[in-house]
Amino acid sequence: MTTLVTGAFGCIGSWVVRGLLAEGERPVAFDLGDDPWRLRMIAGDDVASRVTLVRGDIADRDALVGVVREHGIRRIVHLAAWQVPLCRQDPARGALVNVVGTANVFEAARAVAGQVERIAYASSAGVFGPPSLYPPGPLRDDAPPHPATHYGVYKVANEETARVYWEEHRIRSSGFRPLSVYGPGRDVGVTATPTLAMKAAVLGRPFELRWSGSTDLIYVEDVARALIKASRATLDRARVYNLHGSSVALGEVVRLIETAWPAAKGLLTHVEAPMPFATALDDTRYQRDLGPAPPTALVDGVRRTLDEFARLHKDGRLDARELA
């Protein structure tokens, strides 16, 4: 039962690989990057000997089909993507990676008809627009999409791509919409800010959080767990799920960090600039189909992240480039 993880060197991908290894699998880790430092940090220094590493571009359909054939892939967890800032900088290339790349994953499954049982992929809460467009309260799974960014538009396209592959080719899939993922390994993208604040706290550096207001913060391991569960489930159709962690104001996150790490008191500040994204998601559909899956409490996730950063710092392995 080999699982292919695309974007395996990224934040969520590293946690998915770690989860699969813990369950005794030897996944195929596919990524364009040439240094799996995040994967080593999350899954252990010996990770290269416990997975099959394949360097490749998700935009290269033939390469992807080759990997799926050669390694007898039965499940795919698809995470290779560009995030909001890169898609904004270069929308055409962003569409190639995020939209064509996702179509390629489905094409690879189609090319080996019947071999791939299921695709689990990351969509995003970026499919939704600013809170002003919706009724008050957590956004339901069936709330209408109103993406405010190119990135969000590409995610809507991916969800629709998945639906058509089910309708035309009976390829089963589950897409997940996290909002703000935090935890060890999170370092790029607009919503990486809370994790960067935790890293700054451990390093004793001042840090300004560049947005404020409320968001739905979900611990990265919870997202990985959802993807792994879905990749093994017996659900049919093309399903899409909101994910929910803790709906919280950024000021409260700062308070939690300072409580868990008193030396950080006074180092963390934030500007008053709410993000144009949803502030809370309702995950009823996920809990119904794949639950119960209670989210990690924020206080525990913050503690675990700080502890992990402290351990890495002690070993001289805490990467802090993105704080510069």
Ligand X SMILES: NC(=O)c1ccc[n+]([C@@H]2O[C@H](COP(=O)([O-])OP(=O)(O)OC[C@H]3O[C@@H](n4cnc5c(N)ncnc54)[C@H](O)[C@@H]3O)[C@@H](O)[C@H]2O)c1
> Does 178 contact ligand X by CB under 6 A?
yes
Angle subtended at Cα 123 by Cα 81 and Cα 176, rounded to the nearest 5 degrees: 130
Q: In this chain, which of 3, 104, 174, 180 binds ligand X, going by CB under 6 A? A: 180
Number of chain residues interacting with ligand X (CB under 6 A) = 26
Q: How far apart are CA 224 and CA 249, in angstroms?
A: 24
Task: Give the tokens for residue 262.
Answer: 């008193």
> Does 59 contact ligand X by CB under 6 A?
yes
Q: How far apart are CA 77 and CA 110, in angstroms?
A: 15
Q: Identify which range of 52-60, 69-77, 234-242, 286-294 contacts ligand X by CB under 6 A.
A: 52-60
Q: In this chain, which of 33, 44, 145, 147 binds ligand X, going by CB under 6 A? A: 33
> Does 152 contact ligand X by CB under 6 A?
no
> Does 228 contact ligand X by CB under 6 A?
no
- Closest contact distance (angstroms) between CB of 126 and ligand X is 7
Tell me, rounded to whole angstroms, the distance of Cα 260 from its chain centroid: 25
Contacts of residue 85, Cβ cutoff 8 Å, sequence gap at least 6: 188, 189, 190
Q: How far apart are CA 110 and CA 169, in angstroms?
A: 7
- Closest contact distance (angstroms) between CB of 84 and ligand X is 8
Residues 72-91 that bind ligand X (CB under 6 A): 79-83
Residues 296-315 that bind ligand X (CB under 6 A): none
Nearer to ligand X, 81 or 171 (CB): 81
**Exposure class string for 222-245: b at 16+ Cβ within 10 A, else e:** bbbbbbbbbbbbeeeebbbbbbbb
Q: For 294, which DSSP code?
A: P
> Does 12 contact ligand X by CB under 6 A?
yes
> Does 194 contact ligand X by CB under 6 A?
no
Residues that bind ligand X (CB under 6 A): 7, 9-13, 31-33, 57-59, 79-83, 97, 122, 124, 178, 180-181, 188-189, 191
